[in-house]
Amino acid sequence: MPLRERILPLLGAALIGLAVLSPAAHAVNPDEMLDDPVLEHRARELSSEIRCMKCQNQSIDDSDAELARDLRILVRDRLQAGDSDRQVLDYLVDRYGEFVLLKPRFSLANLLLWLAPVASLLGGALAIWRYARNRRGAGGEAAVAELTTEEHAKLTKILDERD
Amino acid sequence: MINELGHFALVLALALALVQGALPAIGAARGDNRLMAMGPSLALGTFVFIALAFGALTAAYVTSDFSLVNVWENSHSAKPMLFKVTGVWGNHEGSMLLWVLILSLFGAMIALFGSNIPPDLRANVLSVQGWIAIAFLLFILLTSNPFERLDPAPFEGNDLNPVLQDIGLAIHPPMLYLGYVGFSVTFSFAAAAMISGRIDSAWARWVRPWALAAWLFLTAGIAMGSYWAYYELGWGGWWFWDPVENASFIPWLAGTALLHSALVMEKREALKIWTILLAIITFSMSLLGTFLVRSGVLTSVHAFANDPERGIFILMILIVFIGGSLTLFAIRAPALKAGGLFQPISREGALVFNNVFLATAAATVLTGTLYPLAMEALTGAKISVGAPFFNITFGPLMIPLLLLMPLGPLLSWKRADLYPALQRLFWIAALALIVTLAVAALTTDQPVLAALGIGLAAWVMLGAFAEIWTRAGIGRTAPATSLSRLGGLPRTLWGTALGHFGIGVLLLGVVCVSAFERETVTEMQPGDTASVAGYRFAFEGVLPVSGPNYSEQVAQLSVTSPWGNVFAMRPAKRIYQARNMPTTEAAIETIGFSQLYISLGDVAADGKLVVRAWWKPQVTLIWIGAIFMVLGGAVSLSDRRLRVGIAERAKSRRKQAEPADASA
């Protein structure tokens, strides 16, 4: 991995303040970009799914930490070497673990995470279905009408109490 | 001296809160009116003493009294006055003090404006509020005391984190807390109703204004935070699915569901159990958010394990309140009688649909936020759950909700006919389809998804007014009649329409900026020009400027629009001396609803400056949409019918005036 370590050149006094890394800024720099627009586009898409491991919840596309920069260059190197998107991600996971992926893999360990939306939606539908069935079984329109009157009486009473 | 008074006031507030937690509830249980009547004065007293403590801390910040550890750690004598004041809550201790201040403010509001609530219910509500206040006052006094002294007092403070030195800090946290803590009122109402066993549609009517108020502040707070992050962080992202954001978004989703289900409970006495549960869940999510943000557990599970004092304390508060209320719920819920029956195709049915999807969305965001923590705590494995996960799961959940949003309000209660409702939406659907096709035809190089998204936004925006359109009989009766009917429509109707319209506007902004954003990243030196989306910008150089507690390098850019007008943009990089910390100050030019966003990057190897420019089409609609939602909430809140008693009198008056068209 060619780590393009750079030493900031001597700059005019006016520019010195700018040389310090800022904590958060959109990060990809022109000198990292690939000439091939298709590859560069893929690199950007991939970068937004890869975590800058020492940052809090930032992708390497968003972070300008030194580590994020190294990873951006690494991703581009792999793409230029002919890797598929999948291979690049596999390569990173092999080296840094699943922590590097902002979108966890669909695996057994992450099953609960991925199934949560579906399970919750199905659970809700099931609860409504059972509720509706019980209500229909419990009583017809007559029973309902009675209940409503009683509740209305109760409501009126409460309102009267208050006034 | 003032510091000691503040500290003392805080302890006194705790003492009052203890009494507030006990006496009114005992009074309600025994039917003792004298004890119950103590509730309001105790709530007001607690508020006054917490306000005194808050005032004392503010005074310490204003006078830069570095003999307080808290002020020394987070302030600086050269800081502008606005940030000295807002710095009070720009740190852990102060923000918890703001939390209880707002909690007690809501208690005081119930005391002042809750005279229409039955005395025993109000007594119980105030007692529950008292218990929450006790828990958090103890938390502050035992683990996070802002009045801790430092001896000898240093001459200068450490300054506030520069990112927080912004007008955003003045507005965002107070708004957010008004929302988040505002849901404590609905929680207290739920707990009080379960204690007294009185849960009916009148309860929903008392609760709804509070839920609405909390919701609109939370909406405003989240939107404000989003815009703050957008302009402050320097790359124009407006939502990051960061755990801290999620912590405020989960209560918002649950609270939005609560608003809708409380409507069903109020009008039809149905969904009682669910509404009570939602009231508990919403505030539980607020507490959970407080835990996530305040315990340090987000930074790392280990950081939490190393310094667990505060985290454990909030976790205990969490367990006591969530566990306690759920236990109470488990005891009381089976005894609740089910309310009015309804068919699947009905207003109730539509609102149930809304609730299922909002609850699922909340559960999804919650799972995604907690999963990495749980994984690390249980198995030691470290995984990340970030924006790509939330986009792929949350997005699809919103689509059915948005598709059915215009239809819901057109359905009648109990049992609705789908066909006439669909008929009323025919022209809106046709218009939305035309918009979709037009966008697709005009943007052949863009994904079709963008056109579909804009079509959906048009559907939601136009559909938001379908109910008003129908009720006023526009196109079916004489214009004068329609106009007078428009004036007579209840304000809640306008509130709903504005709120739903706001969602459509927000969606339009999101789709446009996601699909049509343009970006140029380039290295520049004086004399260079570059362009983004037809805007040419020339780099003229960098000027050093010094502010009150920072120095900055301001890039001078001259921008020429596609129509030839020229304007200046001045993105900058700042260094705050006290912490030697840099920030990026983006330059933003608003053109119509769109924005040109330019920020500075690093200095490249060849000495040139990296300049990042974005064209963000229609991006402001995201926050304008939120403003419409807040406006909708406010209009709805101003509806007299939300206030029991007044509603009765108004109804009898209305009966004399015009017999038709009561309410929805």
Q: Tell me the fold of B1-165.
A: Four Helix Bundle (Hemerythrin (Met), subunit A) (1.20.120)
Taking CA atoms, A19 is separated from B235, B521, B527, B577, in Å, by 18, 17, 20, 15
Residues of B in contact with A20 (CB under 8 A): 575, 582
List the structure tokens of B15.
């003492």
For residue A56, give the nearest of B299, B360, B606 by CB distance: B299
pLDDT score of A12 more than 50: no
Residues of A in contact with B363 (CB under 8 A): 116-117, 120
pLDDT score of B404 more than 60: yes
Residues of B in contact with A159 (CB under 8 A): 202, 644, 648
pLDDT score of B115 more than 90: no
For residue B386, give the nearest of A24, A59, A116 by CB distance: A59
Q: A158 and B575 in contact by Cβ < 8 A?
A: no
| pLDDT at B117 (0 to 100) | 86
Which amino acid would we find at residue B130?
G
Higher pLDDT, B431 or B114: B431
Angle at which helices B387-404 and A111-138 cross, to 10°: 30
Half-sphere exposure (CA, 13 Å, Cβ side) for A151?
24
How many Cβ atoms sit within 10 Å of the Cβ of residue B177?
A: 25
Contact B86, B170 (CB under 8 A): yes
A73 Cα to chain B: minimum distance (Å): 15
Closest CA to B110 of B96, B135, B97, B129: B129
Contact B246, B204 (CB under 8 A): no
SS3 per-residue string spanning A89-118: HHHHHHHHCHHHECCCCCCCCCHHHHHHHH
What would the mean pLDDT of B491-496 be, rounded to a whole number? 90
Maximum Cα interatomic distance, chain B, rounded to a whole number of Å: 83
In tens, the pLDDT along A73-109 reads 999 999 988 889 999 999 999 998 888 999 998 888 8
Architecture of the domain spanning A13-100: Orthogonal Bundle (1.10)
In tens, the pLDDT along B18-49 reads 999 999 999 998 988 899 999 999 999 999 99
In tens, the pLDDT along B323-347 reads 999 999 998 888 777 677 788 888 8
Taking CA atoms, B97 is separated from B21, B168, B177, B596, B621, in Å, by 19, 19, 11, 39, 34
Beta-strand pair B550-560/B566-569: antiparallel
List the structure tokens of B4.
């000691």
Please report which confidence band the pLDDT of residue A63 belongs to, taking 50, 70 and 90 as the band edges: confident
Q: B521 and A30 in contact by Cβ < 8 A?
A: yes
Contact B158, B66 (CB under 8 A): no
Close Cβ partners of B247 (under 8 Å, ≥ 6 residues apart)? B288, B289, B290, B292, B293, B369
| pLDDT at B555 (0 to 100) | 92
Separation CA A35–CA A42 (nearest Å): 12
Beta-strand pair B594-603/B609-616: antiparallel
Please tell me the pTM assigned to this model: 0.88
pLDDT score of B659 more than 70: no
Q: A17 and B116 in contact by Cβ < 8 A?
A: no
Closest CA to B39 of B31, B27, B51: B27
pLDDT score of B146 more than 50: yes
B447 Cα to chain A: minimum distance (Å): 15
Closest CA to B467 of B664, B209, B265: B664
How many Cβ atoms sit within 10 Å of the Cβ of residue B638?
A: 13
Element (H, E) at B451: helix B448-463
A21-35, B313-327, B408-422, B620-634: least confidently modelled range: A21-35
| pLDDT at A1 (0 to 100) | 27
Closest CA to B76 of B584, B544, B573, B547: B547
| pLDDT at B101 (0 to 100) | 96
What would the mean pLDDT of B166-175 be, rounded to a whole number? 88
**Which residue of chain B is at minimal alpha-carbon distance from A22?**
B582
Residues of B in contact with A6 (CB under 8 A): 605
How many distinct helices (H) and strands (E) make up chain A? 5, 0
In tens, the pLDDT along B570-581 reads 999 988 887 788
B319 Cα to chain A: minimum distance (Å): 23
| pLDDT at B304 (0 to 100) | 57
- Show the CA angle centred on residue B551, arms to residues B546 and B554, nearest 5°: 85
Give domain limits for chain A.
Answer: 13-100, 111-162
- ipTM score here? 0.80
| pLDDT at B299 (0 to 100) | 67
Separation CA B109–CA B427 (nearest Å): 45
Alpha carbon of residue B279 to chain centroid = 16
Please report which confidence band the pLDDT of residue A145 belongs to, taking 50, 70 and 90 as the band edges: very low
**Which residue of chain B is at minimal alpha-carbon distance from A116?**
B364
| pLDDT at A153 (0 to 100) | 77
Residues of A in contact with B388 (CB under 8 A): 48-49, 102-103
Contact B579, B590 (CB under 8 A): no
Q: A113 and B553 in contact by Cβ < 8 A?
A: no
| pLDDT at A22 (0 to 100) | 32
B583 Cα to chain A: minimum distance (Å): 6
Please report which confidence band the pLDDT of residue B456 belongs to, taking 50, 70 and 90 as the band edges: very high
| pLDDT at B294 (0 to 100) | 81
pLDDT score of B240 more than 80: yes
Q: B599 and A26 in contact by Cβ < 8 A?
A: yes
The DSSP-derived string for B288-355 is: HHHHHHHSSTTT-HHHHHHS-HHHHHHHHHHIIIIIHHHHHHHHHGGGPPP-----SSSHHHHHHHHH
Closest CA to B617 of B358, B484, B442: B442
List the structure tokens of A30.
């022109």
Element (H, E) at B13: helix B2-30
For residue A121, give the nearest of B360, B601, B645 by CB distance: B360
Q: Say whether residue B646 is in contact with chain A using an 8 A CB cutoff.
A: no
What would the mean pLDDT of B382-395 be, rounded to a whole number? 91
For the four alpha carbons of B478, B484, B490 and B496, in that order, the dihedral sign comes to positive
Separation CA A19–CA A11 (nearest Å): 9
A56-65, B76-85, B268-277, B555-564: least confidently modelled range: A56-65
Mean pLDDT of chain A: 74
List the structure tokens of A108.
């057994």
Residue A136: beta bridge partners?
none
What would the mean pLDDT of B434-442 be, rounded to a whole number? 90
DSSP B149: B
Interface test with A, best of B241, B602, B611, B616 (most A CBs within 10 A): B602
Separation CA B513–CA B317 (nearest Å): 41
Contact A104, B383 (CB under 8 A): yes
Q: Is B580 exposed, middle or buried (0-12, 13-18, 19+ CB in 10 A)?
A: exposed
Element (H, E) at A81: none
The DSSP-derived string for A50-66 is: BB-TTSSS-BTTT--SH
| pLDDT at A140 (0 to 100) | 43
Separation CA B438–CA B259 (nearest Å): 36
